[in-house]
Amino acid sequence: MQIKLVVTTMLCAAALCAQEDPAVMKAEAQVEKIADLVDRGALPKIRLEKAHEAVLDAKDESLLRKTLYGKDLTLAQCDAMIEAAVRRLERRTKAAEGQDSLVAAGVISRSEMTTSADEVDRAKKERDWAVSRAKLVEQLAETARLEQALSTTLQNAPGEAHKIAERYDGNGIFTPRDFQRVEHAFESKFAKPMPISAIGETALHRSLGFDHRNRVDVAVTPDEPEGIWLRQYLTANRIPYFAFRAAVAHRATGAHIHIGPQSTRIANGG
């Protein structure tokens, strides 16, 4: 009973959230206004179709704001993000192609032309960005899967764990202050920021059922100069780490250095 209530409340909250996006609300209000004018014969029917398209576009834009321009993504959100960006590109391409004929037919005036070649270009860039962001999330998922594989192996066959990652336990503690020191030392040594792929818990880790709080993943392969230096630094300072080599031979996919104790599975109440 209580669970049902919680689920219902969550669904209502989600529905409310979607409704509350001001751009979507504005586009929906415009549909009502135009429908009325079309009914009265003041506007051609095609204007209503365009208004409906604008609602769909606003919804896609809202989704992209939460995903492509958002902070944290799961694998499940990536497909929806790419689909929304592709739809926005298709709409603009179609609009750019079709608006000349609308002007010629006198349906809209030249000043009402809303889709330019620049907008099509922007939508293309947005689509490309969505695709590359999804690839990045896939890489992060690969690092998380490697850590999961290690966790399982450490539990079931600890002797085999070295095949997945090099382990250094140090003093078993990794604090935010340690992290600052490591980051600072890396920057001093290589004159560039330390390439961090995941700080602490992310939506991706949560979606994979993985507790990654107070752990940091650094996107360096253990055997490149940065990786070799980092392992030496962590060892000298007794900071625990796991160095993951490539998940697939001859490919760097998933290779990284995890600083901090081993991640654990999120308890699911069982």
Residue 219 CA: distances (Å) to CA of 142, 195, 252? 12, 5, 10
214/210 Cα distance (integer angstroms): 12
Residue 187: CB minimum distance to Zn ion, A:
20
Q: Does 142 bind Zn ion (CB under 5 A)?
A: no
- Nearest residue to 220 via CA among 229, 232, 211, 212: 229
Q: Does 57 bind Zn ion (CB under 5 A)?
A: no
Shortest Cβ 90–Zn ion spacing (Å): 38
205 binds Zn ion (CB under 5 A): no
Least Å from the CB of residue 43 to Zn ion: 57
Q: Kindly state the smallest distance separating residue 143's Cβ from Zn ion, in Å.
A: 7
Q: Does 59 bind Zn ion (CB under 5 A)?
A: no
The DSSP element (H or E) to which 256 belongs, if any, is strand 256-259
Nearer to Zn ion, 92 or 215 (CB): 215
> Is there binding between residue 258 and Zn ion (CB under 5 A)?
yes
Q: How many residues bind Zn ion (CB under 5 A)?
A: 3
Q: Which is nearer to Zn ion, 127 or 258 (CB)?
A: 258
Query: Which residue minimizes CB distance to Zn ion?
Result: 258
Does position 91 bind Zn ion by CB under 5 A?
Answer: no
- Minimum distance from residue 198 beta carbon to Zn ion (Å): 6
Q: For the residues of 175-240, what is the DSSP string, one character each?
A: -HHHHHHHHHHHHHHHSS---EEEES--HHHHHTTEE-TT-EEE---TTSHHHHHHHHHHHHTT--
Of 208, 217, 231, 257, which lies in the binding site for Zn ion, with binding defined by CB under 5 A?
A: 217
Backbone torsions φ then ψ of 63, nearest 5 degrees: -65, -40
Q: Give the nearer residue to Zn ion in terms of CB position, either 102 or 196.
A: 196
Residue 70: phi, psi to the nearest 5?
Answer: -90, 180
Residue 61 binds Zn ion, judged by CB under 5 A: no
CB of 151 to Zn ion, least distance (A): 10
Please, what is the end-to-end C-alpha distance for the chain in angstroms? 20
Q: How far apart are CA 81 and CA 100, in angstroms?
A: 30
Residue ranges binding Zn ion (CB under 5 A): 215, 217, 258
